[in-house]
Structure 1
Amino acid sequence: MAQDWPGWPNTDADRYRAAGYWAGHTFDQLLTSWSVEHGDRTALVDGERRFSYAALEAEVDRVARGLRGLGVTRGDRFIVQLPNIAEFVIGWFALQRVGAVPVHAMPAHRAAEIEHLARLSGAVGYFIADRHARFDYRELAAEVRKTRQDCAESLKHVIVIGDPGEHDFVSFADLAERGGPTATGPTAGTADSGDLALLLLSGGTTGLPKLIPRTHDDYAYNARASAEVCGLTRDSVFLSVLPIGFNYTWCCPGALGTWCVGGTVVLAPNPSPETVFSLVEREKVTIAAVNPPLVPYLLAEYGANRPDLSTLTLLQVGSARLADDLARRITPELGVPIQQVFGMAEGLLNYTRLDDPDELRCTTQGVPLSPDDEIRVVDEQDNPVPDGEPGELLTRGPYTLRGYYRAAEHNARSFTPDGFYRTGDLVRRLPSGHLIVVGRVKDQINRGGEKIPSTEVEGHLLAHPAVKGAALVGQPDAVFGEVPVAFLVCHGQSPTLREVTAFLKERGLAPYKLPTRLVLVEEFPHTAVGKIDKKALAARLDS
């Protein structure tokens, strides 16, 4: 695989092994060890279905036999596009059992993205649901195979959870029957801990996603270390609110981190506040992970119906910058400690610590997970900036990639010669090491040479009592080049532009950062990976 993705230099790899970060276990080996150690304990809850660790491994083994019967083997790539259902977990570990590589796709992806992922990864197979959220994934799979000859030839196996329909697809329920006498028994040793374990998707808002290679060694450390930082134990119950295929939900500490300590993972079928709180009550959830757009809705639902959150000991908020004012409301209103999570599927994770003072937990995005996470905050010429000054975050470490999958040209731009990854995030570093996310390098509005970080202004807009969602977008301007326009989702009486600018001035915002126009929307468009689609918002300004 060396030609497909650059790994860590031998000196660094040896150091990470010596430090104990890379433990030398594959995910298949980990699943077996969890099954032996935790046996009858509940590993997974999906609606009325409950799986013990032993039962989960038995299901995985059954599906793995079927995959081997289809000829799926070590190193094969397999796209997994499933919602929050148990089959995601079973199928993912079954691929690990045969040494294959899951390619995480999001439920919102459609033909353009799936065709791209199939071509780039060379996937031989595709896990889908028959239907989800009123969308027929069988038609999507048929379209990809029909319109793209290269996909039709390589994407040999489409496995459907539910009814395969009138296609040459394989039913997930019948998969084990594909196994024969030579396709039985465990497959220990089919992969090495340094092998490619999975391919994640880059979370950028422009262009088609890049593929992020993660090995068994680095990703298992990601899960194990995150579980430790978050204080997870065998009594922890993690609620998977966002799509389970997200790196944040799967491994920060997410499902994998929970299983590392023998806890229970509960799958939420949707992220509505009613669903979230009902599952917290029913399953005695102790930790849940959400993103910032959900927070106002959770606060409103709790205020209206006062669900029982007595078992919830930690609410993680991550995947995007949480506004300080919203962060400060969570613990007083919900009675639940907050943990901010800032990271990327490419590797680096930052967590506010459980014993951090309230001010740091509400105003920063945490400190790096690993003692060997190396951090640089630099200016446009890659010169270090002083603590407290904004700059681009560069990083390298034991679980941060050294290059994207089959992307040599992009890698030349995204990494320094000594292996630091250019994250594209603008941050300020405090003397304590805590990072404050200012925004994205490319998510700034250049108003006559004055740079406006969109994330900063959005945080102030979200503090307005009538605003539930905010996005700042640049609009071309003949005088200034660009001027800021605020898109708002509001409840109750929407404020006027004059009222909004007065509010922002009272909060001390510089005059050049004030929006010149308001656009009220009922909801924001989102990219397939769940981020606000600012390209789509900007297109509305041009229409």
Structure 2
Amino acid sequence: MLDGCTPWPEVFVDRYRAAGHWRGHTLDDLLRGWALEHGPRTALVQGDTRLTYARLNRRVDRMAAGFRLRGLRPGQRVVVQLPHVPELVVTAFALMRAGVIPVFCPLSYRASQVAHAAHVSEAAGYVGPSMYEGVDHRATAAGIAARWPFLRRVFTYEAPGTSSPYGGLATDPSGCHYFPLDSVDAPPDRPLAQSAGQVAFFLLAAETTETPRLIPRTHDDYTYQVRAAAESITLTENDVYLAALPAEFTLTFGCPGILGTLSVGGTAVLAENQTPAECLALIAQERVTFTSVVPAVARHWLEELPKTQADLTSLRLAQLGGAPVDRRTARRLGTGLSCRVQQLYATPEGLLLLTPPTAPDDAALAGHGRPLSPDDEIRIVDTDDKDVPPGTPGELLIRGPHTPRGYYRAPDDNTHAVTPDGYFRTGTVARSTENGTLTVTGRLAKG
């Protein structure tokens, strides 16, 4: 386990392996297998770009070799802050194939938040657009490089048909090197031997502070989450997923999202601008079968529905995640899209609650369901950490095979975030029924 991460105790490692949850596969192992099994099928769609599984794997292979040629080394960390484009998926897998650990950072994050993520992870590199929607991301990376000596490689993405205002290859006074992302290409070399117990990537906690915490997700825990989530909604190679939210959101990336869709040979469609009109048009154009949204986005879709002529009959399931939502909005979404609605609650720290997609509407809309894994252990406690009876709200605590045991390089935070016996404090207020169904009602008040 990477220095600064809290490992699972061996007794739990043995338990999760014996149960078949952790199977010793890295995400890179899975992509190679998907390419062999589903080679000519379409894996990713965005605009006019369509990547088959075989082509996706080849691009990952060459970019991984290119990253190594540009000086990145196994175990190093790289901040990834890309728009909603196929390059985000290609880059993530290429870094992992090179043994480098991506640190996913939303494009909406301010320069100070990106700098904090880079500082905590001691990122050796940064991948992002040079300019995007008026924000100079290259300048952000240059500022980090000037402040700390570990960041020495910046890879800039340019949208098709545009060029960088900074030109091509360059080195700044701090010694940081700049490369166009599309120049990161080299003949593939021998694959690295990697352990599934290693950190695959970092997600950032869903918080708006200037100092977001980093969450280490291992290959073992995330491949299990993706597989179990895909099985929970019976995904098949005929499914088409619309990524209507940013891909670095855990809801979009792996609940089951993009990775779950790829795991069964399906197609993931990336909505470039993620506007309601674009998303509804893509459902019709690509014959999308399922998608995932948060309540705020669902309400915007409901406003757009009367204006659209799009044929939405291919859609079978809409996942409604994020903040607690009123039952009326959930019902309206299902009626408006003429599909099933599945409530779920997911956090980057691994908590994933889902209602059964086959449950009667009243049951599916009454709460957030049950934990993903049969080996997820749940407690709901009061302010004294005593378990509360069913129906009484309290803080939700969880430990399980896809819930890390702490934040990265945050020992002080971890003394409060994780109990001595390994339960993660979610900061989420929930209540349970007698049969174990959970309903999230909000967040704990700070202070």
Does TM, scored on the shorter chain, surpass 0.5? yes
Match of 2:410 among 407, 410, 422: 407
Aligned match of 1:105: 105
Query: Are 1:199 and 2:202 matched, yes or no?
Result: yes
Find 1:276's aligned residue among 255, 276, 279: 279
The Cα of 1:408 is off from its aligned counterpart by: 0.6
Is 1:133 aligned to 2:136, yes or no?
no
Superposed counterparts of 1:4-403, under 5 Å: 4-146=4-146, 148=147, 150=148, 153-162=149-158, 163-164=163-164, 165-166=166-167, 167-168=170-171, 169-176=178-185, 179=186, 184-189=188-193, 191-403=194-406
- Residue 443 of structure 1 and its aligned partner are, at CA, apart by 6.5
Deviation at 1:302, TM superposition (A): 1.0
110 and 205 in structure 1: CA distance in 2 versus 1, 3 angstrom threshold: closer
- Alignment-mate amino acid for residue 184 of structure 1: P
Structure 1: distance between partners of 2:87 and 2:302? 32
CA separation of 1:73 and 1:145: change in aligned 2, threshold 3 A = closer
The CA distance in 2 between the partners of 1:113 and 1:230, in whole Å, is 35
Counterparts of 1:205 and 1:425, CA distance in 2: 16
Q: Secondary structure at the match of 1:22?
A: coil
Structure 2 counterpart of 1:187, one-letter code: P
Secondary structure of 1:428's aligned partner? strand
Aligned to 1:421: 424
User: Partners of 2:360 and 2:82 in 1: how far apart?
Assistant: 39
Q: Residue 110 of structure 1 contacts residue 140 of structure 1 at CA under 8 Å; is this kept in 2?
A: no
Q: Contact (CA 8 Å) 1:61, 1:186: kept in 2 or not?
A: no
- Asked whether the 8 Å contact 1:113–1:208 carries over to 2, the reply is yes
Greater alpha carbon shift after TM alignment, 396-405 vs 330-339 = 330-339
| Matches of 1:100 and 1:406, distance apart in 2 | 18
- Amino acid across the alignment from 1:120: V
Once residues 156 and 20 of structure 1 are traced to their aligned partners in structure 2, the CA distance between those partners, rounded to angstroms, is 41
Question: Offset at 1:319?
Answer: 2.0
The DSSP-based 3-state class of the residue aligned with 2:440 is strand
C-alpha distance in structure 1 between counterparts of 2:43 and 2:336, whole Å: 31
Secondary structure of the residue aligned to 2:79 is: strand
User: Which residue number in structure 2 is paired with residue 495 of structure 1?
Assistant: none
Amino acid at match of 2:99: G
SS in 2 for 1:173: helix
Q: CA deviation at 1:323?
A: 1.7
Q: Residue 154 of structure 1 aligns to a residue in which SS?
A: coil
| Superposed displacement of residue 2, structure 1 | 5.2
Q: CA contact under 8 A between 1:102 and 1:198: conserved in structure 2?
A: yes
Alpha carbons 2:68, 2:98 under 8 Å: kept: yes
Deviations 1:206-265 (A, max 9, x none): 452100011000000010100011221101101111110111110010111111111101
CA RMSD after TM alignment: 1.5
Which stretches in structure 1 are left out of the alignment for 5+ residues? 445-543
Distance 1:330 1:110 in 2: 32
Percent of aligned pairs with the same residue? 43
CA drift of 1:306 comes to 4.1
Alpha-carbon displacement from aligned partner over 1:287-346 (angstroms, at most 9, x marks no partner)? 111111011221121123242110011111112212222112122232111011102111
**8 Å CA contact retained: 2:377, 2:400:** yes
Q: How does the TM-score come out when normalised to structure 2?
A: 0.94
What is the SS of the residue equivalent to 2:336? helix
Q: Any idea what the Cα deviations from partners look like across 1:357-391, whole Å, max 9, x if unmatched?
A: 21122121121100000000111111111111101
Would you say the 8 A contact 1:313–1:337 is kept in 2? Answer: yes
Match of 2:306, SS state, is helix
Provide the secondary structure at the position in 2 that maps to 1:282: helix
Rounded to whole Å, the distance in 2 between the matches of 1:60 and 1:86 is: 11
- Cα distance in 2 for residues equivalent to 1:437 and 1:373: 16
TM-score normalised according to structure 1 size? 0.78
2:315/2:337 contact within 8 Å kept: no
Following the alignment from structure 1 to structure 2, what is the Cα–Cα distance between the partners of residues 102 and 207?
Answer: 20
Q: State the shift of 1:356 in Å.
A: 1.4
Deviation for aligned residue 1:55: 0.3
Structure number with larger C-alpha Rg: 1
Note the C-alpha offset of 1:65: 1.0
Q: 2:201·2:218 contact (CA, 8 Å) conserved in 1?
A: yes
* Matched pairs, number: 434
- Decide whether the 8 Å contact of 2:113 with 2:210 is kept in 1: no
CA offsets per residue over residues 161-193 of structure 1, 9 Å max, x none? 1244155310111111xx4xxx7324141x210
Moved more, 51-60 or 424-433: 424-433
**How far apart are the structure 2 equivalents of 1:171 and 1:329?**
45
Stretches of structure 2 lacking an aligned partner (at least 5 in a row): 172-177
